[in-house]
Structure 1
Amino acid sequence: MSSTRVLVLNSGSSSVKYQLLDMRDGSRLAVGLVERIGEETSRLKHTPLATGESREWTGPMADHEAALKAVSEELARDGLGLDSPELAAIGHRVVHGGKLFTEPTVIDDAVLAEIERLIPVAPLHNPANLTGIRTAQALRPDLPQVAVFDTAFHTTMPESAARYAIDVKTADEHRIRRYGFHGTSHAYVSRATAKLLGKDPSEVNVIVLHLGNGASASAVEGGRCVDTSMGLTPLEGLVMGTRSGDMDPAVIFHLMRVGGMSTDEIDNLLNKKSGLIGLCGDNDMREIRRRIDEGDEQAKLAFDIYIHRLKKYIGAYYAVLGRVDAVAFTAGVGENASPVREAAVAGLEALGLAVDSELNAVRSDEPRLISPESARVAVAVVPTDEELEIATQTYALVNDSRNLT
């Protein structure tokens, strides 16, 4: 029996998201989420796609090992257990791969050590990713485990885009450079946009706008990332749900000297109490639009600031690319908030950008164009699929490895 299934794991500090896919056609066999790991009220929600009927379990779950064992048991109930010979590999989302990891990588001790070395630049994410990997290895030590890095797609950026203008020795010593994130999403969406246009990715220049609670933009030239908005951490760039995005770094010194705030307090402010929630108290775009419709000026200002930053990046990446074939909106806000798409493109007609209001209002899970037929630059809505991208990269690597041996 051939092995065609890939389990995708996305391990957070207190959660595990998972999907089991059949790579013969990319179909999902099961999806699920374990949350509040380490608490008395841990919760597992598991959905086998054959029936679509979810099962939920609530109770104490001490750690990630207990969580993955519970996931394994739920999969086994559907005949999809981790001991199945049809399981080809486990693919892990790893947030930070630094400069070294430019593509999906089979995990060994050296890879684990390097992911651990990168913890100082990804203290919230890499430790949880490591825990998930080690737990999965203990459950299936014989199975290939593959790391797919959020930063990998952005390693093609030229040094002129990746370097900060600070002392080179200091930057190199502390690994300070722009790495970018959401790379699996940007890779998937840029390719899917090219397919929507009926072209090969090597022929297409795309500005990808991944707009969720975390948000990032990328300039993709012929399938290769040449610039992206997030930097050393996911804090830089666009206005986000709770993150500030771009700002004068001297604000930090001012808050320390004049505001008497500690490093941890400023970190918390910029990552968790800024962005939309800092501007108007809400980080849900649906709620912000509802408040705007009711005449709420604070919500309107937050929306306007969000759009202003978005337009700046569209214009900047247009200049970086020189020629743009498409602008693609993706992720929760990008896929569902038609007012955001309309406002982001409004006034950019001189750049060949426009949105057809009727097409923009259509709700769909399919990739689609929302620009008029006459538009010089296509504007698209392309639902992202990071799990499928991770599974695809994992399966391709494992198959290549087998063929070489």
Structure 2
Amino acid sequence: MRVLVVNTGSSSVKLRLLGPDDELLCREDPPLDEGAVSEEKLAAAVEGFSGVDAVGHRVVHGGGEFSGAAVLDDGTVERLRGLTGLAPLHQPKALSGIDAMRRVLPETPQAACFDTAFHVNLPPEAATYAIPREWRERYPLRRYGFHGISHAYAVRRAAEMLGGDPGRLVTAHLGAGASLAAVRRGRCVDTTMGFTPLEGLVMNSRSGDVDPGLVLWLLRDAGFGAEEVAEGLERHGGLAGLTGTSDMRDVVRRAEGGDADCVLGLDVYLHRLRAKIAAMAAALGGIDTLVFTGGVGENQPVVRAGAAERLGFLGVGLDPEANDAARADADITGPAAFVRTLVITSREDIKIARDVRARLGGR
């Protein structure tokens, strides 16, 4: 089965046609038009992709309902639309891609794969917020977790690279969004994102964890409106709020040149990253393997080295030369380290294609 994978991002749509053995047959990245997928541009791109048997869409939020790939029909799409408020940066763009592709290829079976699915069986102690019972009973207020497609692929690829079970594994998906997952025997037991993709690590434009009292103070005492606070935390926080740029490449370059804001921004980013890796290790009772993936995790040796620098007490240590040279799937473990550290290229497209084939019965 040849699966066309549709991954709608912040500025473009990544289209990848994968063959039955996950070989990449075609690729195209048409831009978004004012944050939405252009049906015209999508149709033009797909015209060059011959022999599409099925379509798989990456969708950030599946709520607690979707634990695996779901066939897309009108009812499923409407249920996904109802989750937009839980992922306001991502869900509308994914839905615009789904709507457009269903019109472009109306006779082709299509399915959605969810970033939340990998975390749907989080243990209660990791999934539950300490908020009033009546709130939790009335509304679906729990920790959902995200980046699950990337985390799941990294788990499988780590096992392939190591020739067996990677043991107590922490996967670090570091990109525009960033999250960690603690994984034991293929099951996620904790993660850093929660009810929305705003919780957890410092990200490109998202704040990550802040004191809830700070948000209440902004709303109650500083006179901010809810939309203004949401805009600040989601689009103008994180590295953008600390340094003036949301691009980690610029932050690293300017920090190395002595820019004070970027030095602070990188320090804040790494401080939170190290603390959360240690927290994931605690959830596992230790750590045997650490994986870096995502655009930042794969391409920024400074970030990998900075994260590992103060994790020696866990047994983490990097080989400086291997770390600097790593560009694809690579082992960068230091000679005296007890924890294997890997750099893995994120291939969400492969994971989505496999899940779509399994759901639709293709080979």
Give TM-score, length-normalised by structure 1. 0.84
Q: CA deviation at 1:219?
A: 0.5
Q: How does 1:149-298 map to 2 (within 5 A)?
A: 149-200=114-165, 204-298=167-261
The superposition leaves residues 134-156 of structure 1 with CA deviations (integer Å, 9 ceiling, x where unpaired) of: 33233333322111011100112
Establish whether residue 23 from structure 1 lines up as the match of residue 23 from structure 2.
no
Q: CA deviation at 1:231?
A: 1.0
CA contact (8 A) 1:235 1:245 kept: yes
The superposition leaves residues 300-320 of structure 1 with CA deviations (integer Å, 9 ceiling, x where unpaired) of: 111111111011111111110
The superposition leaves residues 90-141 of structure 1 with CA deviations (integer Å, 9 ceiling, x where unpaired) of: 1011111001101112223332232122223223332332332233233333
CA contact (8 A) 2:155 2:171 kept: yes
Q: How does 1:1-400 map to 2 (within 5 A)?
A: 4-11=1-8, 15-24=12-21, 26-37=22-33, 64-73=38-47, 75=48, 80-81=49-50, 84=51, 87-200=52-165, 204-365=167-328, 367-399=329-361
CA contact (8 A) 2:37 2:93 kept: no
Q: Which moved more, 1:127-136 or 1:293-302?
A: 127-136
In 1, distance between residues paired with 2:242 and 2:10?
A: 27
CA contact (8 A) 1:243 1:275 kept: yes
In 1, distance between residues paired with 2:108 and 2:335?
A: 49
CA contact (8 A) 1:345 1:353 kept: yes
Aligned amino acid, residue 148 of structure 1: C
CA contact (8 A) 1:331 1:383 kept: yes
In structure 1, the gaps of 5 or more residues are 40-61
Alpha-carbon distance change, 210 to 111 in structure 1, aligned in 2, over 3 angstroms: same
Aligned-partner SS, 2:29: strand
Alpha-carbon distance change, 398 to 36 in structure 1, aligned in 2, over 3 angstroms: closer
In 2, distance between residues paired with 1:12 and 1:32?
A: 13
CA contact (8 A) 1:219 1:227 kept: yes
Q: CA deviation at 1:213?
A: 1.6
In 2, distance between residues paired with 1:358 and 1:217?
A: 25
Aligned amino acid, residue 162 of structure 1: A
In 1, distance between residues paired with 2:46 and 2:310?
A: 52
In 1, distance between residues paired with 2:73 and 2:243?
A: 46
In 2, distance between residues paired with 1:33 and 1:64?
A: 12
Aligned amino acid, residue 72 of structure 1: V
In structure 2, the gaps of 5 or more residues are none
CA contact (8 A) 1:205 1:223 kept: no
Q: CA deviation at 1:13?
A: 7.9
Alpha-carbon distance change, 318 to 14 in structure 1, aligned in 2, over 3 angstroms: closer
CA contact (8 A) 2:326 2:332 kept: no
The superposition leaves residues 316-335 of structure 1 with CA deviations (integer Å, 9 ceiling, x where unpaired) of: 11110013210101111111
Number of aligned positions between the proteins: 363
In 1, distance between residues paired with 2:243 and 2:34?
A: 33
The superposition leaves residues 259-306 of structure 1 with CA deviations (integer Å, 9 ceiling, x where unpaired) of: 211111111111111111111212222222222222222211111111
Alpha-carbon distance change, 16 to 341 in structure 1, aligned in 2, over 3 angstroms: closer
In 2, distance between residues paired with 1:357 and 1:11?
A: 35
Larger Rg: 1
Q: Which moved more, 1:102-111 or 1:177-186?
A: 102-111
Aligned amino acid, residue 154 of structure 1: H
Aligned amino acid, residue 18 of structure 1: L
Q: Which moved more, 1:28-37 or 1:152-161?
A: 28-37
Aligned-partner SS, 1:333: helix
Aligned amino acid, residue 399 of structure 1: G
Aligned amino acid, residue 314 of structure 1: I
Alpha-carbon distance change, 29 to 171 in structure 1, aligned in 2, over 3 angstroms: same
Give TM-score, length-normalised by structure 2. 0.94
Q: CA deviation at 1:23?
A: 2.1
CA contact (8 A) 2:179 2:192 kept: yes
Aligned-partner SS, 1:359: helix
CA contact (8 A) 2:3 2:18 kept: yes
CA contact (8 A) 1:194 1:204 kept: no
